[in-house]
Amino acid sequence: MKPANRNVAARDAYGRVSPLWLFLMKYGPPRWSEYVVKNWTGQRLVIAVPYLWLLVFFLIPFLIVLKISFAEFSPLGRPPYEPVFQWLEEGALQIKLLIGSYVYLFNEPLYVSAWIYSLKVAFFSTVLCLMLGYPMAYAIARSPPTQRNVLLLLIILPFWTSFLLRVYAWVGLLKTDGLINTVLFKWLGIVDEPLAMMNTSFAVYIGIVYSYLPFMILPLYSNLEKHDNTLLEAANDLGAGPIKSFLRVTLPLSFPGIVAGSLLVFIPAVGEYVIPSLLGRTDQLMVAKLLADEFFLNRDWPKASAVAIAMLLLLVVPIMIFQRFQNKELQAAKR
């Protein structure tokens, strides 16, 4: 006969139980019923595959970076750091954690200025990108459906071409003898001498806005497109002019799109490497370049790791906000 309370324990959000497990559940030892519910083998395997991959190749590397950031730099070593964990002959485990790298990060003016500069550049690039991207997304969302598809195509096309090559294109434009100077200086004579635009902050701003514009437009567009036109009509009907209805109806409703787009630009921009390398200043570096130099040029792995950890900590909050938004969008799409 079926023991009544065992079934109560087994019926759970966990779903289906196969006949073999059911048999074991009925006639096996009492604690098995718990075990049974949690061991739906098929599902577990499917979950395990991507999970394990990400744990091994995404999460564990971060732990290793953390470990090495506390290691001692040994310039001639292969690899160039002293082991953090070491088994001594007596069977004891020696753990040597040095916070020297971190102290250096916070004190060395080169680093501090690099941090501040990176944040500043990323912030203003995001703002500029938003100021250009929002009207564009708005115009696309308001255009008739056939035009809309073509416009979206035009926005997405650059995204599929090589990022590196598109940044390279700006090298050709911004050089002293590049296209822009040719037009302004040689042909139109608007300026007295060629503008020095390469290797400036200005060039970096342009580079970031240019490269990340589609990432700003697409989330904004996908939000704006869902807006109900009748809301604006209602606002107009109640007496609000076009600017007011925009500020009080459209803008607040598009807030999730603004946040998503801004985070998609800001977070990677802080850690940008290619754009500052090709277009940026040589006297003021961004953190990514600093990390790469520390790693490849100085071979100082502990310090490079410390920079990476510090960057991670800096970006953890924005990353979590971004993920919260991602989740919300997915939940909304389910309805």
User: Of 198, 212, 215, which is closest to residue 125 (Cα–Cα)?
Assistant: 212
At its nearest, how many Å lie between another protein and the CB of residue 284?
Answer: 17
Residue 93 CA to residue 216 CA, distance in Å, equals 50
Site for another protein in 153-192 (CB under 8 A): 153-158, 160-166, 168-173, 175, 177-179, 182
- Residue 202 touches another protein, criterion: CB under 8 A: no
- Residue 47 touches another protein, criterion: CB under 8 A: yes
At its nearest, how many Å lie between another protein and the CB of residue 17?
Answer: 4
**H-type helices in 161-200, by residue range?**
163-174, 179-181
Question: Which one, 104 or 329, has the nearer CB to another protein?
Answer: 329
Site for another protein in 14-33 (CB under 8 A): 14-19, 21-22, 25
Question: Which one, 284 or 306, has the nearer CB to another protein?
Answer: 306
Total chain residues near another protein (CB under 8 A)? 108
Rounded to whole angstroms, what are the CA distances from 11 to 7, 37, 43, 243?
A: 6, 8, 17, 57
Q: At what angle do helices 255-270 and 301-334 cross, to 10 degrees?
A: 160
Site for another protein in 59-98 (CB under 8 A): 59-62, 64-65, 68, 79
Write each residue from 293 to 322 as x if it is in contact with another protein (CB under 8 A), else as -, in one continuous string: --x-----x--xx--x--xx--x--xx--x
Residue 334 CA to residue 327 CA, distance in Å, equals 11
| Strand 93-95 versus strand 85-87 pairing type | antiparallel
Rounded to whole angstroms, what are the CA distances from 110 to 69, 289, 308?
A: 19, 12, 16
Write each residue from 208 to 237 as x if it is in contact with another protein (CB under 8 A), else as -, in one continuous string: --x--x----------------------x-
- Residue 1 touches another protein, criterion: CB under 8 A: no
Backbone angles phi, psi at 272, to 5 degrees: -65, 140
- Residue 196 touches another protein, criterion: CB under 8 A: no
